[in-house]
Amino acid sequence: MLVILNIGELVVIPKGPVCGREMRNVRRIQNAAIVVDGGQISWFGRATDVLIPPGSDVLDAGGGCVLPGLIDCHTHGVFAGTRENEFVQRIEGKSYADIAREGGGIRVTVDAVRAATLEQLIALALPRLSRMLHNGVTSLEIKSGYGLSVDDEFKMLESVRRLREFQPIELVGTYLSAHAVPREFDGHTDEYLGRMLDDPVLSRIRDGRLAEFCDVFCETTAFNIEQSRRVLLKAKQFGLLPKIHADQITQMGASRLAAEGGAISADHLEKIDDGGIAALKAVGTIAVLLPACSFFLGVEQAPARKIIEADVPVAIATDYNPGSSMVESLPLTMTIACTQMRMTPIEVVVAATANAAAAIGRQDRIGAIDIGMQADLIVLDVPSVERWMYEPGRNCLRTVLKRGKVVVDSSG
C-alpha cells in the first residue's frame, strides 16, 4: 500500500464525460491524502482524516497539486522522418495544396514509415513517449495511418503493441488506414478502401487486439462522407469503435456523420457548425479539440466555448504528428487551449483527463479521482492547476504514478 501525504490541493476530477458548467464545478480538497491499494485508489480525503495502514510506503507530494494522470487521446505518435521544411514553407505563405504539389505533405511521412523497420519505428517512438511521460501523460492513443498498405499499417499497429513492453504509458491503438489515399491508388479511392477494409484484415486487427478504434479523415482532400460512412460501419462490424477527423478544413457534415455512426469521438472541429454541435450533443459523442494543431498551423481554433456551452463533452489532445502538430507536450497544448480558446484551467484539466478517458472508452477506470479508479496520478510542483496553466513552457511535474507505482520522480 502507498499513502500520498502533503497534497496541497487534490483535484477531485469526476468520471467522464463531464459537460458544460460541470467542467468548472470540480471539488478541490486542500491538505489532502490518498491511499493506494493494489494499484487503485482505496481512499482519499483530508490529510487529517487519513489512517495510514501499517507497513505502507509514503510519498510526500511536497504541498503540490495532485490530479489524475493526463490522457492524450488523439496522436499520431508513431512515425519516421520530420517535415520542418513544410513548417517554413507555410510561414512563407505556401498553401497546403502548394506544399502537396511540391511533393510535401503526408506522403513524405508515408514514404519514411514504409522505409522503416518495425524496430526503427519503436526506437523512434520511445524517446517521445519518455518525454510525454515526463510531461504527465499516463495513457496515450496512437493511430496508424502512415503505412497505407496492409503490411505497413500492421507494422504501425504492431509497433504500438510492442511499445507497451518498453515503457509504462498505457497505449491505445487506432486503425486509421483511411488517413489518405496512397500514391499507388491515386484516383481509386474505393478500391483502396476495399483493400484496407477487407474481412481478413479487420479480423486480424480484432483477433490480435491491435486496435480498439477505427478512424477516418473525412475531408475534401481525403475521404468524402459516403466513403467515411463505409469505413466506420464496416470497422464497427469487427468491433472497432468509430472515431472521425471531422470539420477540420471544410464543413461537409462530418460531425453529423459522427453522430449518425455512433462515433465515440469527433476530432478537430475547427469548422463545426450549429447543426454539427447539436448532432454530437444528441448522441453524446466526445468533441476532441486539438489546439496545438491550430497553433502550429497558425489557423483559427475550434469554437470551444460554443461547444462547451452546448453541453457537448470536450476533450483536448495534442494531435502530435510531424505535419500539422509537432507538439508532444500535452501541458503546453492545454495552455494553448486556455489562452487561445478561452477555456479555464480547470476545464482543460477535465478535458485532458475525464473527457479524454471517455474519448478512448476508459472513463470507468482512468481519468478521475474516485474509490476504485486506477491510481494513475500526477503530482505538480505548484499548488493549483491554475498556477500550472499560468506558466506556459515550464515543466511543473514533480512525480508521475502509473497504477500506483512511481514512474517519474523529479522531486530530488
- Under the binding rule (CB under 8 A), the answer on residue 88 touching a second copy is yes
- Under the binding rule (CB under 8 A), the answer on residue 130 touching a second copy is no
The CB-of-87 to a second copy minimum distance in angstroms stands at 4
- Under the binding rule (CB under 8 A), the answer on residue 343 touching a second copy is yes
The CB-of-33 to a second copy minimum distance in angstroms stands at 24
CB count in 10 Å sphere of residue 236? 16
Q: Which window, 261-269, 279-287, 360-368, 392-400, contacts a second copy (CB under 8 A)?
A: 392-400
With contact defined as beta carbons under 8 Å apart, do 249 and 220 qualify?
yes
- Under the binding rule (CB under 8 A), the answer on residue 251 touching a second copy is no
Q: Which three cell numbers stand for residue 176?
A: 486509421
3-state secondary structure of 378: strand
Per CB under 8 A, the list member of 386, 406, 407, 411 interacting with a second copy is 386
Identify each DSSP E strand in 167-226 by its residue range: 170-178, 213-217
The CB-of-62 to a second copy minimum distance in angstroms stands at 15
C-alpha of 216 from chain center? 15
Residue 234 CA to residue 358 CA, distance in Å, equals 22
Strand partners, 277: none
The CB-of-13 to a second copy minimum distance in angstroms stands at 17
Residues in CB range of 385: below 8 A, 6 or more apart: 11, 65, 67, 345, 346, 349
The CB-of-391 to a second copy minimum distance in angstroms stands at 5
CA atoms within 13 A on the CB side of 327: 24
- Under the binding rule (CB under 8 A), the answer on residue 131 touching a second copy is yes
Instruction: Give the angle subtended at the CA of 171 by the CAs of 168 and 177, to the nearest 5°.
Output: 150
Q: Which window, 4-12, 85-93, 225-233, 268-276, contacts a second copy (CB under 8 A)?
A: 85-93
- Under the binding rule (CB under 8 A), the answer on residue 22 touching a second copy is no
Burial of 55 (0-12, 13-18, 19+ CB in 10 A): exposed
- Under the binding rule (CB under 8 A), the answer on residue 153 touching a second copy is no
Q: Which is nearer to a second copy, 83 or 155 (CB)?
A: 83
Residue 291 CA to residue 302 CA, distance in Å, equals 8
H, E, C per residue of 213-232: EEEEEECCCCECHHHHHHHH
Q: Which window, 117-125, 186-194, 288-296, 403-411, contacts a second copy (CB under 8 A)?
A: 288-296
- Under the binding rule (CB under 8 A), the answer on residue 329 touching a second copy is yes
Per CB under 8 A, the list member of 25, 30, 237, 339 interacting with a second copy is 339
- Identity of residue 243: K
The CB-of-303 to a second copy minimum distance in angstroms stands at 14
Binding mask 41-80 for a second copy (x = CB under 8 A): ----------------------------------------
- Under the binding rule (CB under 8 A), the answer on residue 236 touching a second copy is no
Q: Which of residues 91-120 bind a second copy (CB under 8 A)?
A: 91-93
Q: Which is nearer to a second copy, 196 or 385 (CB)?
A: 385
- Which helix (DSSP H) or strand (DSSP E) does residue 345 occupy? helix 345-351
CB count in 10 Å sphere of residue 40? 16
With contact defined as beta carbons under 8 Å apart, do 202 and 210 qualify?
no
Per CB under 8 A, the list member of 384, 397, 402, 403 interacting with a second copy is 384
Q: Which residues contribute to the site for a second copy (CB under 8 A)? A: 82-85, 87-88, 91-93, 131, 292, 295-298, 326-329, 332, 338-340, 342-345, 384, 386-387, 389-394
